[in-house]
Amino acid sequence: GADEAAADATRRWCDGTARPLEGVFFGVKDIIDVAGAPVTAGSHTTGDRVAVTDATAVARLRAAGAIPVLITATTEFACGAPRNARYGAVTNPWDRSRWTGGSSTGSAGALAARLVPLALGTDTGGSIRVPSALCNLTGIKPTYGLVPRTGVASLSWTLDHIGPMARSAADL
């Protein structure tokens, strides 16, 4: 649906009804549901599960005009190890001999490689902050509960946070 959403964004810009994030492409970590997209949590054990509805965070970004265009790799069940059986390691675009760090590894890699200007990550023990630091990005771990976690595979419901990542604080 990205092509249709982009055409709608163009129409909205032309007729003066653009929303705050109109036409901004974004990536979504592979534990966050995007309707119609495979969401595997980086594991072979999940099979090829396809999300039925958007996670609340994705729905809110869509409502603001943003367009999800890719599901980004994560470590298996967002546990944070560099090697993943399903995806392999996501290398750091600044130095391909290094890892991007943390479980929001694909979101950081996609941002640093300039595939998208915005991505969603999750942070339980540093998984937004570490890859952001290692890839020269900016990420926010919001106040607990500020961003609803509905539609997100949980690692630790008492510690999980959903947050944005971008190439700069100004972008966020």
**pLDDT tens-digit profile, the chain (172 residues):** 999 999 999 999 999 999 999 999 999 999 999 999 999 999 999 988 999 999 999 999 999 999 999 999 999 999 878 878 888 889 999 999 999 988 999 999 999 999 999 999 999 999 999 999 999 999 999 999 899 999 999 888 889 999 999 999 999 9
Please check whether residue 172 lies inside any domain of the structure: no
Give the chain's domain count: 1
Does the residue 60 lie in any domain?
yes
The pLDDT of residue 157 is: 84
Residue 103 annotated to the active site: yes
Of the listed 103, 104, 107, 132, which one is catalytic? 103
- 136/68 Cα distance (integer angstroms): 22
Residue 22 resides in a domain: yes
Q: Is residue 112 a part of any domain in this protein?
A: yes
- Residue 51 in any domain: the answer is yes
Is residue 127 among the annotated active site residues? yes
Residue 94 lies in a domain: yes
Q: Tell me the two tokens of residue 160.
A: 């999980």
Q: What is the CATH number of the domain that holds 139?
A: 3.90.1300.10
pLDDT on residue 49 = 93
Note if 141 is an active site residue: no
Which residue range forms the structural domain that includes residue 51? Answer: 2-166
Res 85: pLDDT: 81
Is residue 69 included in any domain, yes or no?
Answer: yes
Do the domain assignments include residue 106?
yes
Please state whether 112 falls in left (phi above 0), alpha (psi between -120 and 50) or beta: alpha
Number of helical H runs and strand E runs in the chain: 4, 7
Quick check: 132 and 108 in contact, CB under 8 A? yes
d(CA 92, CA 67): 24
